[in-house]
Structure 1
Amino acid sequence: MHSNDDSPPTNGVKYDIAEEKVIYNDHTKSGPGEMVMIREIHVQPNDYMSYAIIVTICCCLPLGLIAIIRSSQVRSRFDNGDLQGARLSAKSSRRWSIAGVVLGSLCYLLSILSIVAALFLVG
């Protein structure tokens, strides 16, 4: 067995609590003459908040704001115990951020091409 402290057995896996929030749900099952403790470990999905903020500032404001909203939903849903909802919000935040980078990059590229074309037409 393990010691009497409240920390979960790690089974060789280290969790960085500063980076990821960990939730432990304890379930007890008992059979004839035995008691088995089952501990589920849920790690908060990456919320991509920094990625969403960078996209908002540097690439595409509207899509970046949507990504920030989805990113904040990851934390709130995870804190409420909705692990599947948190995963869906994380995936959605990542997709909106990628869309913002692609759209912002295309806008920058078109702006540069139009400036270069205008310089050649004037010169």
Structure 2
Amino acid sequence: MNEQQEQQPQVSQQAPPSNYLVWAILTTILCCLPFGIVSIVYAAQVNTKWQAGDYDGAKISSKNAKLWAWVSFGAALAGMLLWLLLVIFGVVAGLGLGALDSLSV
């Protein structure tokens, strides 16, 4: 009895790359709107490209979604630091002006 074994192609079933959609949405809402929207657009492309067979494109979109989420977070952090510096300088300037007012009687 000769059994013919069918040769199945060795297709590696890789998991699709992470789309970072939740992170993109959170950075859009909580951090920086324009950069977060860019992250959402790239995150939305990941699964579509993966299902279409564009594995390299899906990986690139995943990396871009992550990058723009970090950019959004960094922009928000820089904005908060700038705001904090302005508040500190405003308080120091206000204290300085108050000291000058008490000298001129």
Q: TM-score range by the shorter chain?
A: 0.7 to 0.9
Looking at secondary structure, tell me which structure has more strand per residue.
Answer: 1
CA–CA distance in structure 2, aligned partners of residues 109 and 58 of structure 1: 15
Give the counterpart of 2:6 among 35, 53, 56: 35
CA–CA distance in structure 1, aligned partners of residues 14 and 62 of structure 2: 15
CA–CA distance in structure 2, aligned partners of residues 72 and 65 of structure 1: 11
Looking at secondary structure, tell me which structure has more helix per residue.
Answer: 2
CA–CA distance in structure 1, aligned partners of residues 34 and 11 of structure 2: 42
Aligned to 1:75: 47
**Normalization by structure 2: what TM-score?**
0.79
RMSD (Å) for aligned C-alpha atoms: 1.4
Larger radius of gyration: 2
Unaligned runs of 5+ in 1: 1-32
Unaligned runs of 5+ in 2: 96-105
* Matched residue count: 91
- The runs of at least 4 aligned residues of structure 1 exceeding 2 Å deviation read 33-36
* Structure showing greater relative contact order (alpha-carbon pairs closer than 8 Å, 6 or more residues apart): 2
**Normalization by structure 1: what TM-score?**
0.69
